[in-house]
């Protein structure tokens, strides 16, 4: 990533970003929690893209070069933590589940970021306790390095609704189906169907944040029916696409 900005301390702050607005690549000497109070936020590194609606937050470890992008009107909440404070021992960006209490703690800490009162220190201690108890979520689109795998991933990024199976996509990319199947597992840590579902859910979140109707999202992202989309979305996020519209 060119033009990398280095900020020693990761800020604790709230920012409002318009749809499509981004924060260029930068890094901090501190850890940072990235949370979308409204909209959907993505964090991108050379290794891939992590995405989170309001039921999740993204842990960005100290020293990790990353960029942010807003989908929908984004209320971006950032909580900086010293590099010596890593309650989950995470060395790479990770998506964490956010329950109601953790959400309120993040919002409170970012609302008055310079408050160093004893009450605030106690709140931050509870926030760390909540982080330790937060389940990690496999919500990531890793970046492939093999050119054959990159070609297939690019085809589906351009059209998430592309119905072709791995065999046909392999032919289009000039590779063998078995080779690509191995590459998905080795490089991306998931099977081809798992990766395609992650990709479709990512684009679905983006479209929903922009106000696209649920039926249209289902069609554009390749689900066979609106009900099938709703079922997959609910299992992935714990609520329906319609509820997501109300959240953002």
Q: What is the pLDDT of residues 86-108, one digit of tens each?
A: 988 999 999 999 999 999 999 99
CATH of the domain at 10: 2.60.120.10
How far is 226 from 244, CA to CA, in rounded Å?
Answer: 15
Q: Are residues 93 and 166 in the same domain?
A: no
CA-to-CA dists, residue 82 to 54, 63, 170, angstroms: 24, 12, 46
Cβ-contact 106, 81 below 8 angstroms: no
Per the DSSP assignment, residues forming a β-bridge with 70 are 41
Task: Indicate whether 1 pLDDT > 50.
Answer: no
Q: Are residues 187 and 234 in the same domain?
A: yes
How far is 131 from 223, CA to CA, in rounded Å?
Answer: 34
Handedness of CA 153, 158, 160, 162 (dihedral sign): negative
Count how many residues are written for the chain: 248
Last residue of a domain, one of 110, 140, 170: 140
- Candidates 33, 146, 153, 177; CA nearest to 94 is 33
- Residue 48's SS3 state is strand
Q: Are residues 181 and 116 in the same domain?
A: no
Last residue of a domain, one of 91, 121, 140: 140
Q: Are residues 89 and 202 in the same domain?
A: no
How far is 174 from 61, CA to CA, in rounded Å?
Answer: 38
**What are the structure tokens assigned to 120, written together?**
């605030």
Per the DSSP assignment, residues forming a β-bridge with 97 are 56
Number of domains present in the structure of the chain: 2
The mean predicted confidence, pLDDT, of the chain is 91
Residue 2: pLDDT band with limits 50, 70, 90: low
Cβ-contact 43, 96 below 8 angstroms: no
Residue 19: pLDDT band with limits 50, 70, 90: very high
pTM for the complete prediction? Answer: 0.89
Q: Are residues 45 and 12 in the same domain?
A: yes
- Candidates 44, 125, 68, 59; CA nearest to 89 is 59
Mean local confidence (pLDDT), 29-40: 94
CATH of the domain at 212: 1.10.10.60
pLDDT digits (tens, 9 = 90+) for 128-186: 999 999 998 878 899 999 999 999 999 999 999 999 999 999 998 888 999 999 999 99
- Residue numbers of the domain that contains 28: 5-140
Q: Are residues 93 and 46 in the same domain?
A: yes
Residue 32 CB-density burial (10 A; 0-12 exposed, 13-18 middle, 19+ buried): buried
Last residue of a domain, one of 122, 140, 158: 140
Q: In the prediction, which pLDDT does 236 show?
A: 87
Largest CA distance in the chain: 63
**Torsion angle of alpha carbons 175, 181, 185, 187, nearest 10°?**
10
Q: Are residues 121 and 170 in the same domain?
A: no
Q: Are residues 9 and 56 in the same domain?
A: yes
pLDDT digits (tens, 9 = 90+) for 186-239: 999 999 999 999 999 999 999 998 889 999 999 999 999 999 999 999 988 888
Q: Are residues 33 and 102 in the same domain?
A: yes
For the beta carbon of residue 205, count every other beta carbon within 10 angstroms.
Answer: 27
Q: Are residues 98 and 193 in the same domain?
A: no
Task: Indicate whether 244 pLDDT > 70.
Answer: no
Q: Are residues 133 and 54 in the same domain?
A: yes
Q: In the prediction, which pLDDT does 140 show?
A: 86
Percentage with pLDDT > 90 across the chain: 76
| H or E element in which residue 83 lies | none
Identify the weakest region by mean pLDDT among 106-110, 113-117, 241-245: 241-245
Q: In the prediction, which pLDDT does 29 show?
A: 93
Q: Are residues 136 and 147 in the same domain?
A: no
Mean local confidence (pLDDT), 118-129: 92
């Amino acid at each position: 990533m060119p033009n990398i900005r280095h900020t020693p301390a990761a800020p604790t702050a709230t920012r409002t970003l318009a749809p499509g607005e981004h924060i260029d690549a930068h890094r901090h000497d501190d850890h940072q929690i990235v949370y979308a109070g409204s909209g959907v936020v993505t964090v991108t590194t050379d290794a891939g893209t992590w995405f989170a609606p309001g039921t999740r937050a993204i842990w960005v470890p100290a020293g990790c070069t990353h960029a942010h992008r807003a989908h929908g009107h984004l209320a971006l909440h950032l909580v900086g933590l010293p590099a010596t404070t890593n309650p989950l021992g995470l060395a790479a960006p990770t998506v964490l589940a956010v329950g109601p209490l953790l959400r309120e703690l993040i919002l409170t800490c970012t609302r008055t970021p310079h408050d160093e009162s004893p009450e605030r220190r106690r709140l931050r201690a509870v926030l760390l306790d909540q982080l330790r108890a937060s389940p990690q979520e496999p919500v990531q689109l890793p970046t492939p390095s093999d050119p054959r795998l990159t070609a297939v991933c690019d085809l589906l990024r351009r059209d998430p609704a592309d119905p072709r199976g791995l065999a046909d996509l392999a032919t289009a990319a000039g590779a063998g189906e078995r080779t690509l199947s191995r590459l998905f597992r080795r490089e991306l840590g998931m099977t081809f169907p798992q990766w395609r579902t992650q990709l479709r859910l990512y684009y679905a979140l983006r479209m929903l944040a922009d106000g696209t109707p649920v039926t249209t999202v289902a069609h554009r992202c390749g689900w066979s029916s609106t009900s099938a989309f709703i079922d997959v979305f609910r299992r992935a996020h714990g609520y329906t696409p319609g509820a997501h519209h109300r959240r953002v």
